[in-house]
Structure 1
Amino acid sequence: MTRKYSSLINNHIRSLLDTLADKSIEAQQYQETMTKLGMSLGDALLTKIDKEKSVYLASTVEDADFLARGVLTQLENHLDSVAFACFWNQRFSPFEIEDLTAAPIIKKYQEKTLNDVNYLIVIKSIISGACVVKTNLINLIQTITPDNIIIVAPVMYHTAQEKLKNEFDKNIYDKFQFIYFAEDDERTQEGEVIPGIGGMVYERLGFQGQDDKNRYIPEIVKQRRSQLIKASV
């Protein structure tokens, strides 16, 4: 096993990653750690973004109230507005092979924005086979035309970047940038990246598996939807 850290790493972020990898910590501490990592990723994003430009952030349902909230907190402290989308994906592998996993969208929350977006940011707690990121990105670019696509995660599997690029035409993958803190090169037969984020993220965050997380409506979605309704009245 070899873990490589990106140039963004510091002692604080390394400590947060070590906390995620600790399988003994409770769900609440895991959630808080994800939120803090999201804030650090938000700070990294702010160094890449022209603050006068439009930004759209997309997250999965399990990451919305934690990792994505941390990113949004930092971005919204410095940007006029950030549009948001949340996806509920149902992952399955018909042949029990991680790289053949599919992740169809069963529900989504997507805020309206201009068709032309300067920065489309797709965030995920860990990117391994990249099927969820691929599926959600394909859906987004059907209605959004981004100038830049930034793929963001605390941890990535070492083949994920190349695999994701191979799923898209050159005119799309040329827009890709990747922001991450650590890259791991070991994965179990079940698809868990080692040390990764310390296991399967649904259970670590306190969900009772995939079906439970897909019944969950994130607080951040409830809050933003309520604000949009009030603004339209």
Structure 2
Amino acid sequence: MFKTLLFAACSLTASYSFSQADLFEKSLDSIQTETDAQQFLEKNKSAKGKVITFNKEKHHTRLAKELFSMSVGGKKFDKNSPQRTYYKVIDKTSTPYYKASCIYLDGNETDLNQINATRNNIISKYNKGFKFSDLARMYSMDQTAKKGGDLGWVTQGDLPIDIETQLFSGDYHTNDIFTVDIPEQEAYYVVVLTQDRKLIEEVKVLKVTEPRL
């Protein structure tokens, strides 16, 4: 008798678990936009989730490749995760990016005359064939010096507006060098455009995890 009751209880628990999982997946299927995703997260407080953007130039994992191959609305369940983990593709776009490197000079550390002299020296050396990465390691006064000034692929909103205005203006082409002043921040730059405007595919994904039932 006890074994029968225990079996029945386990069966009911399993049925309830499957039912909950089915409802959860159906609610995921109903998500069409980022607004839907935010509303889903607000409604399902027990689930941990966030919207992630994958960039085809920056993300090369197996997961990223799978997500790029899926269409909008597609859903992936990660069977190997310790928690129930879902990925739902909610948007795919092509975003304009530029690639650039910079040298930063701090106006709080040296006066403007010295900064301008240094920048003129940098530009002169660059035009004579010096590698910009070597010049950045030598002169730049921030953490980008360790990377040879490389900023990687950047799009609108990634950099100070004064740099973006010039970088994205269309007045410069690959390997062109120019200066940017932001006096109110005591920030002075030498910038090189290392690759022209490129449309890069991005996929926006809702990642949701919940404890296994």
- Structure (1 or 2) with the larger CA radius of gyration: 2
Return the TM-score normalized by structure 2: 0.22
Higher relative contact order (CA 8 A, sep 6+): 2
Structure showing the higher strand proportion among its residues: 2
